[in-house]
Amino acid sequence: MTPASPEVHASAEAVKDLHAWTDAMAGSRTIQIVNVGVVADASILVLRRAKEDSLPGYWEIPGGGVEPGETFPTAARRELAEETGIRTSVLREIHHQRGPAPPGFRRPILELAAFHLALPSRPPVTIVPGEHSEFRWVGRDDLPLLRMMDLNRSLALRALDTGPTA
């Protein structure tokens, strides 16, 4: 039995900010996105979007767009390294969906792959100023308290529920 796909809900503010990003993906009918749930000590790493970037103040797990010619795992490793300084060769895919993009996306099709990385302890994290303003390690009970897009929260919960990476 295939697990149900998390639903995608975004505020009007989030939808507006997505327009600029989707415009940058011109030439494709599909938006490809990756996310990585990094779990250590029963907590997940979340990043807070900087006020200068799209979705200011929102919390998210690391991730971003797939570049032309990249595979989903390669994009996930690149995004994780760029956004956190964490480098790994081992990721476990925990979710993949392709279907109609939710309201706010300027492309009709969304393809998203989410990955899980379980670590024995919390590694040093280096965030990119201007993209993220802070990071936190949070447990399951703290996720509902953070301002997150529903899909990102669902993926974070799924990562927390996933066993070891290897």
Instruction: Look up residue 81 and give its two tokens.
Output: 């390294």
Instruction: Look up residue 94 and give its two tokens.
Output: 């925990």
- For 129, half-sphere exposure in the C-beta direction (CA atoms, 13 angstrom radius) is 0
Mind listing the pLDDT tens digit for each residue in 31-75? 899 999 999 999 999 999 999 877 899 999 999 999 999 999 999
The secondary structure of the chain in percent helix, strand, coil, rounded to multiples of 5, reads: 25, 30, 45
Side chain identity at residue 50, one-letter code? A
Kind and range of the H or E run holding 22: helix 12-23
CA distance 87 to 134: 19
Inform me whether the pLDDT recorded for 21 exceeds 60: no
pTM, two decimals, is 0.81
Name the maximum alpha-carbon separation found in the chain. Answer: 42
Mind listing the pLDDT tens digit for each residue in 107-156? 889 999 999 999 999 999 999 888 999 999 999 999 999 999 998 999 99
CA distance 100 to 97: 10
What pLDDT does residue 166 have? 58
- CATH fold, domain 12-161, is Nucleoside Triphosphate Pyrophosphohydrolase (3.90.79)
CA distances from 4 to 96, 146, 156, 158 (A): 11, 23, 15, 11
Kind and range of the H or E run holding 19: helix 12-23
What pLDDT does residue 146 have? 97
Inform me whether the pLDDT recorded for 11 exceeds 70: no
Inform me whether the pLDDT recorded for 8 exceeds 70: no
